[in-house]
Amino acid sequence: MIEFIGKFHPLLVHLPIGFLVLLGCFELLTLRSKKPQFTDAIRVVLVLTFPVTLVSIICGWLLAGSGEYVGSNLFWHRWLGVALGAAALALLALHWCGLFRLYRWALWPTLALLVVASHFGGSLTHGNDFFAWPTKKPTRSPGDLTTQTVHAAAIQPIFNKYCVSCHGPDKSKGGLRMHTVADLVKGGDSGSAIEPPGAKESLLGKRLALPLDDEEHMPPDGKPQLSPDQLAILNWWLDAGAPTDKKVQELNPTPEILKVMESLAGVSASGPATDR
C-alpha cells in the first residue's frame, strides 16, 4: 500500500513545478503592470503550491523506500525536494505577511533550487546522461568491431539505451541492474536474466518476446521499444550462450547478423561510417 501511494510522486511532482514557474511568470508580468489582481492571483497560487509540494515530497519518500532507487542522485533529489518544500512555505509566509520585496527576492533562488532538484529527479528516471549535451559518435572500421567483445560492441549499448534507466546504478527495478557485466550475470529478484542461455529459455529473451500489452514485456509499454535489428542481435547473442567475454569474430556471426551489428555500431563493410 505504501509503495502504491509512492508511485503517485512522478505525477504529483509536476504540480509544484508548474505552480512555481507560474509564480515566476506572474512576477515578470508585474514588472510592466502593477495591477492588483496579480497580487491576488499570486497568493492563490502560493496557497496551492505548498500543500502539493508537501504531498509530492511525502510520496517521493515513500517511493524511495521501495528500494528500487539508490545512489547519490536519490540522496540529492530527496533533500533538495525537502528544501524546496521549506522554500515554498517561506514564500507563502512572506507574501501573506505583506513582505512582498523579500518574497520576490526569495522566489528566484527557489526557482534555481527547483531546476537543480528536477535535474536529479530526471537523472533518476531517465539516466545520468539524459541532460547531457549531444556528442559525436566515434567512427569505427569493421576491423575495430570484430576485435571487440560482442557484449561491449553490440549488447551493452542496447542495454544502456533501453534498459539501464530502470535497471542501473540509480534504479534497480525488480532488483536487476544491467549497467555492468557483473550485475547482469548476478540477476535480480526473479533470478538471472541470461541463464539458462537462449532466446526462448532465458528470462531476458522471454520478456522481450512478450506482447507489448503484457505487463511483464520489456521495455514496458510507453517506453522506447527495440527495433527488429536490435532484437535480432540480442536473440542471436542469447542463443550463442550470452557470452560476455568473447569477441565478435570468435562467435562467427552470419553475414546477416554482422551486417546488422555493423549498422548499429555505425560502420559499414566498406569502411568507417560518417556521423549522421
- Angle, helix 36-64 to helix 14-30, in steps of 10 degrees: 160
Residues 6+ away with beta carbon under 8 Å from 56: 9, 12, 13, 15, 16, 81
- Can you tell me the distance from the alpha carbon of 179 to that of 181, in angstroms, rounded to the nearest whole number? 7
- Can you tell me the distance from the alpha carbon of 231 to that of 155, in angstroms, rounded to the nearest whole number? 10
Nearest CA among 113, 64, 68 for reference residue 88: 113
Nearest CA among 50, 120, 60 for reference residue 85: 50
| H helix runs in the chain, sequence order | 2-6, 9-12, 14-30, 36-64, 72-96, 100-126, 142-146, 150, 156-162, 181-186, 203-209, 228-239, 255-265
| DSSP code at position 224 | P
Q: What is the full per-residue pLDDT of the chain (276 aa) written as tens digits?
A: 666 777 778 788 889 999 999 999 988 887 766 665 678 888 899 999 999 999 999 988 888 776 667 678 788 888 999 999 999 999 999 999 989 889 989 999 999 999 999 888 877 776 666 566 655 655 555 556 767 888 888 888 898 888 888 888 877 888 888 888 888 888 888 888 888 888 899 889 999 998 988 888 888 887 889 888 889 999 999 999 999 888 888 888 888 888 888 777 765 444 433 333
Q: Which three cell numbers stand for residue 149?
A: 567483445
Residues 6+ away with beta carbon under 8 Å from 184: 159, 177, 178, 193, 194, 244
Confidence (pLDDT) at 10? 79
Do the Cβ atoms of 195 and 202 come closer than 8 Å?
Answer: yes
